[in-house]
A and B are shown apart, each in its own frame.
Chain A
Amino acid sequence: MTADAEIEKELRETLGGLLRRRCDIETVAALADGPESWDRNLWQELEGMGVLGLVVPEQYGGEGAGFSLAVAAQEELGRRLAPVPTVSMAAAQAALLAAGTDEAARWLRRMTGEGVTAALAVGRGADGWSQDAGIRAEDVSGEWTVTGIVPVVADAPCAAVFLVAAETAAGPALFAVEPQNRCVTTPVDALDPTRPLGAVALTDCPARLVAGPDVFGEVLRAAERAALVLLAADAVGVAAEAMVLAVEYARTRHQFGRAIGTFQAVSHRCANMLIAVESARALVAAAADALDEPGPDTDTAVCLAAAEALETAVSVAQGCVQVHGGMGFTWEHPAHRYLRRAKAAEALVALPDRLRERAATGLLAAV
């Protein structure tokens, strides 16, 4: 085994072990159905393990391990439906790294050193993230303030800092905003409670400039790519575990005097799940490599992987419900929790068909 593969295996084993102990489905369900759906204690443990700084270089207190390892960790987190804001965190870190300012460096260190949680308040559309979050920024004698309402911000209820896309007189820019009485988060009912949503209302709220209009476009793209790849890795984990549930049920549930997994209508559905999961995992690994060593194909690799993985998670989670029959339709059975995580992820950053459209543009331009 190569050294990289060895490290990945070790990370998966350590993290997988922690999550089996600390993040079983009953714990996740209890949190998801309770008032605060994210797991602060688990977050602390992840920080202790270094999982929160995998994509951050060592000079900012991170592990400098890159996305190839971060996707392995995220797959394990997705597998256990871990209610922690690691996807938003990685997106924020990618934005800060791309920004390259002192302010950005300060936040990076706080994220890796103190486990400070982050969320991105940016414009959302079917095609992906945009500058158009409906926030304007004003320079009041050298101090910035931001004003406006962002109706849906992923992981807002757990964020200790928001990276806010806001319009300045010189164009869009990215600001860091800390929750306070001028920055109020209202919880929003989420299809997937393991990734809580909030509406963020900003009223002349003090803000620190992280990235100016000159680099904003690049910063937003970096954040979006990181979010897509981590979300795709999460989806692979969700799909892999939904498949395990379906296969286990097909093996043990008997009808007509035999295990339902002996019926090819069921077993072939399960085989298709495996094919889809393996394919998505391969594309996600390739996309992570492309992020670690960027080139002209990086965006295409990211879009193809995210489209495939996000759709795979939905189809496998739907298949999991179907294989479980009536049981799969109950609140009590966890099948719906995988389906919710999968279906919400599909719409969180960019829709799969739009991602494919982006990939096609890149591919055909290269011909």
Chain B
Amino acid sequence: MASATVQDAGTSPARQAHWSVRLAEFLDAHAGRPPRDKTARLAWARAFHADLEEAHLAAPGWPAEAGGMGLDLGDQIAYHQQMTAARAPRHPCGLSFIVAPTLIRHGTPEQKERYLRPLLRADEFWCQGFSEPGAGSDLTSLTTRAERVGDAYVVNGQKLWTTMAHLADWMFALIRTGPAGPGGAGISYLLISMKSEGITVRPLKDISGGTHFSEVYFDDVRVPVGNLVGEEGGGWAIARTSLGHERATAFLSDEFRYRRVVSELHRLAKTSGAADDPVVRQDLARIEASVRVLASNSRRALDAVLEGRDPGPAASVNRLVRAEFDQRLHEVALRVVGPDAVLGQREPTAPEGGRWTYGYLMSRSSTIGAGTAEIQRNTIAEKVLGLPSWRKEA
């Protein structure tokens, strides 16, 4: 890991102390337990990230001209460790960090000026408009379309599985502006205000009975042409822009979380008596092996990245391993819960507040969202193993 340098290139007084010192002071000043109430907790997290941005301590990996800290990868890792150790609240809108790299790389100066700061401060939330009822794994077949009318695009169609749509101020969306063709031709990247006329958000009740997603309908929604990112018809290529190796650093915080959840599962197994069951013990050992594999793969990928090498198979495999681990973990957890697994997550007597039941149901999405396990296996087979694509010969 790169060691922290003592001086800082910045000139303002706030930038003269080393970032890690300033971050430590910031975290001290903002220490405290999160409010129990959901609404209050959201407001608390927003305030935290607004203050963080104010203190020039947000977005460690972004370039300084985009409002970030411009830290190198080693320092970014140190930053995340410091934040995790202090149990700082996560940015309340993770999706913002999917649109941000695209804006930073491909946005106009006006777009960067307008969107990045409110995004970092969590003043404005973003949702992602990619999936549609007819376009899931085969995303390039999407049909929500926009027609150019004067200085605006007029959008019609429907998006699905839109996380945070009911809270979002903006949607970054892939919209068809031309005929379909190879390589995602005819798809444009538009920024759409969720307050536009003609937008209807319908919450979608999910597997857990909660509403984490929505359907979003577009009925003649006008989007100024200035909200096009990149070229018209060039949206597909820029949709997955990343700033180098965010995934590698993102793995880290997951690792800490999984380690903690597995330890909690061990404790549950001991208190419930399931720890004496030889079948459960086999499962617990397998879970332990997986959590160690995840940690090791992340470290190897990170080491490679830090040394400027391609992280190789470890990185591409890790995402799938993680998704399936998450499911197995919760399957085992319900086995540990035992006969009480008949209880719903809202039943007050359910062990540990029903968290394992809820987690079990939610974990079913980890092999579906953001690329199904099947699509990821296709990718591994073709990109890592060099097997011929099923598409070409089909």
> Which A residues fall within an 8 A CB radius of B?
1-2, 247, 250-251, 257-259, 261-264, 267-268, 270-272, 274-275, 278-279, 282-283, 285-286, 300-301, 303-305, 307-308, 353, 356-357, 359-361, 363-364, 367
Contacts and interface: CB of A to CB of B under 8 A. Distances in A.
Given A357-B281, A359-B288, A271 B380 contact: yes
B288 A363 contact: yes
Interface of B: 263, 266-267, 269-270, 275, 278, 281-282, 284-286, 288-290, 292-293, 296-297, 300, 303, 307, 309, 313-314, 317, 320-321, 374, 377-378, 380-382, 384-390, 392-394
Given A262-B393, A304-B285, A278 B388 contact: no
Nearest to A305: B289
A2 B275 CA distance: 41
B263 A367 contact: yes
A2 B302 CA distance: 13
B389 A262 contact: yes
A304 B282 contact: no
B285 A271 contact: no
A13 B377 CA distance: 29
A275 B321 contact: yes
Contacts of A2: 303, 307
A204 B219 CA distance: 95
Given A286-B296, A357-B282, A367-B266, A264 B380 contact: no
Contacts of B387: 247, 250-251, 259, 261-262, 267, 270
Given A267-B381, A360-B281, A274 B288 contact: no
Nearest to A356: B285
A308 B289 contact: yes
Given A270-B385, A271-B381, A367-B266, A304 B289 contact: yes
A278 B297 contact: yes
A259 B386 CA distance: 12
Contact of B307 (A1, A356, A359): A1
A310 B314 CA distance: 20
A360 B274 CA distance: 12
A258 B393 contact: yes
Contacts of A303: 285
Contacts of B381: 261, 264, 267-268, 270-271
B386 A360 contact: no
A282 B263 CA distance: 21
A63 B286 CA distance: 34
Contacts of A268: 374, 377-378, 381
B268 to A, nearest CB: 10
A264 B297 contact: no
A263 B391 CA distance: 10
Between A1, A282, A364, A367, the greatest number of chain B beta carbons within 10 A of the residue's beta carbon is seen for A282
Shortest beta-carbon contacts, A-B, top 8: A356-B285, A267-B381, A360-B281, A282-B296, A261-B387, A271-B377, A271-B380, A258-B393
A250 B290 CA distance: 28
B355 to A, nearest CB: 18
Given A261-B381, A262-B387, A367-B266, A279 B321 contact: yes
B270 A367 contact: yes
Contacts of A308: 289, 293
B309 A283 contact: no
Given A247-B385, A275-B321, A360-B282, A267 B296 contact: no
30 contacts: A251-B386, A257-B393, A258-B393, A261-B387, A262-B392, A262-B393, A264-B374, A267-B387, A268-B374, A270-B385, A271-B384, A272-B377, A274-B385, A279-B293, A279-B321, A282-B296, A282-B297, A282-B314, A303-B285, A307-B285, A308-B293, A356-B285, A359-B285, A359-B288, A360-B285, A361-B281, A363-B288, A364-B269, A367-B267, A367-B270
